[in-house]
A and B are shown apart, each in its own frame.
Chain A
Amino acid sequence: MNATAGPRAAILSRVRAALGVRADEASRLAAVEDRLKRHPRGTIPARALVERGTLLQSFETMLTDQGASVTHAATPEDAVRAIADDLRAHDLPLCLRLGDDAVLAALPWEAVAVERRFGPAQSDDRAALSRAITAAAETGTLFLVSGADNPTTLAFLPESHTILVGAGDIAGCYEEGFDRLRAIYGEGALPRTVNLISGPSRTADIEQTIVRGAHGPKRLHVVILG
């Protein structure tokens, strides 16, 4: 091994020597390029391929089993009322931290007396609202992406987190969720952070006893709109 070649070259040459390969073998390069380009799917669980009604039902059941609460909102006004009612029911101030998300901005906030504060979460914020860009019903999993629309800290700092998701944005499997992200951000690219969230924060580190609210939110409230 060439000691002057640097650690990167050292590791790559060790890997190639161990595998008995060279860096320029066309068939290997083609195999890698092809897989990255086609990104073929593996086995998709049948539970993610069921008809729409069953799929939405299982999305909700999964989330509930994992400790989240779920509310259905037929209209945008129902959604803001559900959010306000939830804050009241849990003795939280009628104050929400949220980002610049256009869907959230367009909700009829005048119907409820909830103060909105914009920007990333601050340490004294008690409740935050985010919008999921998509979701996967197979395990009740919401996809949040970073950015000014839905700052990542909203999902982790406050003790109560509400996520709004459009019923039409709920997909079956994770792969469909990532395909939706590819359609927005392009092939081979992701926003800085994609958080897959499937319930409130929890820990079972001590004696395998499950306790909610370890470091992240103690509560997760999911509002399905539409």
Chain B
Amino acid sequence: MSGASPESFKGNAARALADAQLQRALLNVKSGFIVKRAKARAKLPEFDRLRDDARAIKDHTLAHLDLYLEAYERKVVESGGHVHFAPSAADARDIVLRLCREANARIATKGKSMVSEEIGLDAHLEAAGIEVVETDLGEHILQIRGDRPSHIIAPVIHLNKEEIAEDFFRAHAALPRGRTLDTVQDLVSEARAVLREKFLAADVGITGANFLVAETGSSIIVTNEGNGDLTETLPATHIVVTSIEKIVPTLEDACTMLRLLARSATGQEITTYTSFATGPARDGDPDGPRAYHVVLLDNGRSDMLGGDFHEMLRCIRCGACLNHCPVYGAIGGHAYGSVYPGPMGAVLTPALVGIDHARDLPNASSFCGRCEEVCPMAIPLPALMRKWRERDFDRGDPPLTQRAALGIWAFAARRPRLYHALAGTLMPLLARLAGPKGRLRTLPFTAAWTATRDLPAPEGQTFHALYRQRSGER
């Protein structure tokens, strides 16, 4: 599954639905994140006002993005750091590799970073002979499995502890065979011990950034494990790999964002660690990196500015839209074939890789609207998915079956009498076919749809018949 691409979405989804192990693991999304977020939100009466504030902050920042990028860069340089602009994913990979080489890096530790996943950084550095060590527990598990994240904040939500124990026995081969790895605690303790040695040996630490602060030139990371802090504190060089839309103007603006991020993501009041890094070690600092670099990735983001998908640039990657999405809940993240799954991925992925390569993703939605409801940045995700659908249709090559079906419907819809006659005949027919349960298991020409779902049969009369009846009653 980890080799899936957005182009094979339909097949990926079908396999995911048939994967019993995955289906069991996905129950954790429903029982965990959704309940925790609701509780955290209820405990903060100002949540909706903060959401309005945050939206305004992002809108203001994006409207002045060029100037905030320049202001941020000035502050980084003032504090002794370096900023590298990377128009494309390849540019970003090359810059990070060059910085690693300049630091004579043999081992690079990494904090969790979706941008580094987006640009395929690990493989690029490994091909150049650098040992890359993912230190977030979830990312470590993925690395030893050769797997990809299935969720932007809970990368191994698709796995159960028994599968992870098998991976640990295989990958941590130097440890005694007979040890017990029955509990989650056992697994965490082992990962702590294995990774601690790497933290201490690393030459370069690579992290992402949840936010960048223009006022001070700081990069912010939020973690619960403390791995990001060890990554950015212990090695001699710290490289931040992030993207241009992560900027907020001031520390106050960062505070507003932070109040929304953890609550929306994990339902925590705040993550255990929220760390602001500003430049390399100062005179007299007994620890901290001696070099501090920020790689700012564009990779299609500037094309989104000012256009149909501008609002997607407000996204702070909390994952709330994934957690609340019935489609994500049914198939998990890998089926999307992109590092960004779920509703936010359905909007972002086509912008990054082109709609030609991701045309199924904006269709992987029931348009129930929960994603928009829970989005702390009030991004109208369903409307943005609809815009991708329109663009895809306008390109003029929707599949033949889709065009034929729409053609027939349009023919009937333009002829009200025919339409009413058809509806009046077909509705009772479908209801009769469905039987007492009111559900159709199969229907001609709809096998792809009914293979994994039942079609609820129409109940009662047509709208027009009902309307006439009710009008008569008044």
Using a CB–CB cutoff of 8 Å, the interface residues on chain A facing chain B are 6-8, 10-12, 14-16, 18-21, 23, 28-29, 31-32, 35-36, 39-47, 62, 66, 99, 119-121, 123, 139-141, 146-148, 151-153, 155-157, 173-175, 178, 188-209, 211, 213-217
Contacts and interface: CB of A to CB of B under 8 A. Distances in A.
B41 to A, nearest CB: 12
B326 to A, nearest CB: 19
A205 B67 contact: no
A146 B292 CA distance: 15
A205 B252 contact: no
B255 A174 contact: yes
A175 B252 contact: yes
Contacts of A188: 75, 215-216
Given A12-B69, A205-B154, A215 B272 contact: no
Interface stretch (B187-195, B385-393, B430-438, B460-468): B187-195
A151 B297 CA distance: 31
A11 B87 contact: yes
A220 to B, nearest CB: 9
Contacts of A202: 224-225, 272
B253 A201 contact: no
Nearest to A41: B252
A42 B69 contact: no
A139 B286 contact: no
Query: Which A-B residue pairs are the 8 nearest by beta carbons?
Result: A216-B226, A214-B225, A18-B305, A39-B250, A205-B138, A208-B32, A42-B53, A14-B302
Interface string B27-39: 0100111000000
Given A36-B250, A43-B53, A99-B286, A203 B244 contact: no
Contact of B50 (A42, A156, A178, A209): A42
B282 interface: yes
A30 to B, nearest CB: 10
B57 interface: yes
Contacts of B156: 205-206
Contacts of B271: 198
Given A42-B252, A175-B252, A211-B188, A156 B91 contact: no
A193 B298 contact: no
Interface stretch (B10-18, B273-281, B327-335, B356-364): B273-281
Interface stretch (B115-123, B228-236, B441-449, B450-458): B228-236
19 contacts: A7-B91, A18-B306, A19-B65, A19-B66, A31-B64, A36-B214, A41-B252, A42-B50, A42-B54, A62-B269, A66-B272, A151-B285, A178-B255, A190-B218, A191-B278, A198-B273, A201-B273, A215-B230, A216-B229
B424 to A, nearest CB: 50
B272 A36 contact: no
B45 A46 contact: yes
B395 interface: no
Contacts of A20: 306
A157 B249 contact: no
Contacts, number: 276
B287 interface: yes
Interface of B: 25, 28, 31-33, 44-46, 49-50, 53-54, 57, 60, 63-71, 75, 79, 84-87, 91, 135-138, 141, 154-157, 159-161, 164, 184-185, 187-189, 191-192, 195-196, 199-200, 214-216, 218, 224-227, 229-230, 232-234, 244, 249-253, 255-256, 258-259, 266, 268-282, 284-288, 296, 298, 302-307
Given A156-B230, A213-B188, A146 B287 contact: yes
B229 A152 contact: yes
B278 A190 contact: yes
Interface residues of A, dominant DSSP? loop
B285 A146 contact: yes
A213 to B, nearest CB: 7
Contacts of A192: 79, 277-282, 285, 288
A141 B57 CA distance: 24
Given A32-B68, A39-B251, A208-B28, A193 B230 contact: no
Contacts of B71: 32, 36
A8 B87 CA distance: 8
Contact of A215 (B138, B187, B192, B252): B192
A39 B71 CA distance: 14
Contacts of B199: 215
Given A42-B255, A200-B272, A19 B226 contact: no
Contacts of A42: 50, 53-54, 57, 252-253, 255-256
A43 B137 contact: no
A191 to B, nearest CB: 7
B67 A197 contact: no
